[in-house]
Amino acid sequence: MLSTSEINGKWKEYRLSNKNGISVSVLDYGGIITKLMVPDKNGNLENVVLGFKDYQEYESNPFYFGAIIGRVAGRIQGASFSIEDKAYHLEANNNANHLHGGPKGFHQVIWNVYPFENEDAVGLTLTHTSADGDRGYPGNVDVSVTYTLNNHNQLILDYAASSDQTTPLTLTNHSYFNLSGNAKENITNHYVKMDSSKFAELDHTLIPTGKLIDVTGTPFDFRKYQKIGTGFNSSFEQNSLVGNGYDHYFIFDHASEHQVIVDEPHSGRIMKVKTNQPGMVMYTANNMAEGYVLLEGTTKKYQGVCFETQGLPASLHHPGFPSILLMPGKKYKKQTVFTLNIINE
């Protein structure tokens, strides 16, 4: 089922619902997921993502709640890069670095929206053209992001793009998940299992050094279920330098059907993540400023966790990481599937 409402006289919010009671609400502004309603083991329908109570807050959206991120998700060192010996300079918005596409990135544009509905699924295709020179990036880039909610409780995000010049591009969605429902608890007791044996080491400015660290014997080893809060009180340097938690890029081994599984035992909710991206930033809201009013409660440290499936911008400065360069004539085509299960006791 699909419904639409006007927001603040300038945006539209689309609500997609399946036959099992799950629904997702998406703005044309930033492609922002504002709500994701999922039943718990007792059938209680609750929101499992963080979102602002006052939608005007999305105009600045300092936490990038729920948004499409681009052209490049993550930090670009020194807000600059070179392609074929030509230097490109971007806007610095994270100390000396360029973060999440910069000011007025994809999270702050109004996308064209094309809804669709069939027997088993309902969805939206969002499109946007980023002109040559936009935020300092080369090339005219045509982007589409499709959100599909089906009756198998899968929220599917399909990303597609093309460019007329070689340009860096890696897109993601920046939803903060909290499977306890309505942010009743923080994420400390969420269990995470991840198909990853290496992560990118960060320096004190949160820029990858170019080195990969083996997860064995560290709080980054999620190859078996581990509480996400394990890293919050750890003395391991990589946890402490990001504010006592995680804000790191994990390289997927792609040895399992699902790259991430998240289990919140109290609610009975389990979320499985499957993607063809090479890795993911897991961010545990270590540096979330307090006091912003949400749909449920106010912002606090560790109130949500992002699973930012994407390429790694550090590939622009360090060899050995998968490239994020999109060549003219080539298609960018990525998919991430969030499967929402409920364990009934």
How would you write the pLDDT of the chain (345 residues) with one tens digit per residue? 888 989 888 999 999 999 999 999 999 999 999 999 999 999 999 999 999 999 999 999 999 999 999 999 999 999 999 999 999 999 999 999 999 999 999 999 999 999 999 999 999 999 999 999 999 999 999 999 999 999 999 999 999 999 999 999 999 999 999 999 999 999 999 999 999 999 999 999 999 999 999 999 999 999 999 999 999 999 999 999 999 999 999 999 999 999 999 999 999 999 999 999 999 999 999 999 999 999 999 999 999 999 999 999 999 999 889 999 999 999 999 999 999 987 754
Do residues 149 and 115 touch, judged by C-beta distance below 8 A?
no
Domain range summary for the chain, segments of one domain joined by +: 2-342
- Residues carrying an active site annotation: 174, 308
Q: Give, as one character, the DSSP assignment of residue 49.
A: B
Domain 2-342 in CATH 3.90.1150.10? The answer is: no
List the strands of the sheet with 176-177, edge to edge: 176-177, 305-310, 279-283, 247-252, 196-202, 208-214
Q: Are strands 11-17 and 23-27 parallel, antiparallel or unpaired?
A: antiparallel
Residue 55 φ/ψ, nearest 5 degrees: -60, -20
Do residues 215 and 263 touch, judged by C-beta distance below 8 A?
no
Close Cβ partners of 161 (under 8 Å, ≥ 6 residues apart): 141, 142, 143, 144, 169, 171, 326, 331, 332
